Structure 1
């Protein structure tokens, strides 16, 4: 897939862009821990510490996520919102997520509450980034309705559980990675990881069941080309 010698080294870095990009891609694309990525690179003769990979993931994951987000087409006008519980160091947090009609994540925000103030904060965040949709679909949590009445009273709001399966299903990848990682270690780590992970998933996990084999291969090839372009543009 990636030619690990294709791009020159970053200034001040021991390894070339291609190896860094490959490590970040592997970590976010597959259900791996850092040591798995270390072994994957070692099998190709690239010896480094998993702590180095951690630094790359933390430093460049946000860069790749930003590139993917800016390059995505404008989402359709019907968005689904949901929140799920995340336990971090014995404390309960709520992961708020907005997805488009295809189930791809638009935005996430980890908060310690799910009251009206928290809902407003989430609305402000993704409205600023993506604009205003035509329809919001949520479950019956009252915070959504209260926040919408203050921020966007004319926005159509459909609020019953049966319609919100897309948002609820989007949490399963988070649950899988949370389990493999042995739970998130801090709210900051969780937010940083999920902000990158969800965007990588948006281009490398097309809805295969909706595509022909040829269309799926084409979508995958496009995703690899995008990733290589973003890797070539990396800066230290």
Structure 2
């Protein structure tokens, strides 16, 4: 897992968007919180450990707030705190920033949490990793995504 946090301004106040991704770059979970401390880190780590189980390796930046929660909640995990190793998640923030700019900023922490949780899951489906796929494979992945989405839309309307 890669864990990171980034500031998002909402109505002139700072909030922190905590994000966890797996080794493939798929978003595991996000959480919008007003704090960037050990209590907030513990809440976030607890949430993803409950949902996905213990990780094998956790990579974070050098924020000291991660140390105790990872040791207590995922004791068998190898915790690596290094800025250079965390580039995968730093790139994961880019679609969020782009979407935030197009929307004209977030209006409330609740709206940001609801939107980003859904946006990240849909983004995984509709944006396959282009650099990993041939043209033919990319087209198949996109077609599969649209067929999957049509199925979801039919379920919701029925």
Q: Distance in 1 between matches of 2:23 and 2:109?
A: 28
Match of 1:127 among 49, 55, 68: 49
Identify the residue that residue 97 of structure 2 maps to in structure 1.
175
Runs of 4+ in 1 over 2 A off after TM superposition: none
Q: CA deviation at 1:83?
A: 0.5
For residues 197-220 of structure 1, give each alpha carbon's deviation from its aligned partner in whole angstroms, at most 9, with x where no partner exists. 000000100110110001101111
Gap regions ≥5 residues in structure 2: none
Aligned length: 158
Q: Distance in 1 between matches of 2:62 and 2:38?
A: 13
1:46-65 equivalences under 5 Å are none
Match of 1:117 among 14, 21, 39: 39
3-state SS, counterpart of residue 119 of structure 1? helix
Match of 1:107 among 21, 29, 35: 29
Query: Do structure 1's residue 165 and structure 2's residue 111 form an aligned pair?
Result: no
1:1-236 equivalences under 5 Å are 79-234=1-156
Q: Distance in 2 between matches of 1:118 and 1:95?
A: 11
Q: State which structure, 1 or 2, has the greater radius of gyration over its C-alpha atoms.
A: 1
Q: CA RMSD in A?
A: 1.2
Q: Distance in 2 between matches of 1:104 and 1:149?
A: 24
Q: Which structure's relative contact order is higher, taking Cα pairs within 8 Å and 6+ residues apart?
A: 1
TM-score (norm 1): 0.65
Q: CA deviation at 1:226?
A: 1.0
Gap regions ≥5 residues in structure 1: 1-78
3-state SS, counterpart of residue 156 of structure 2? coil
Structure with greater strand percent = 2
3-state SS, counterpart of residue 58 of structure 2? strand
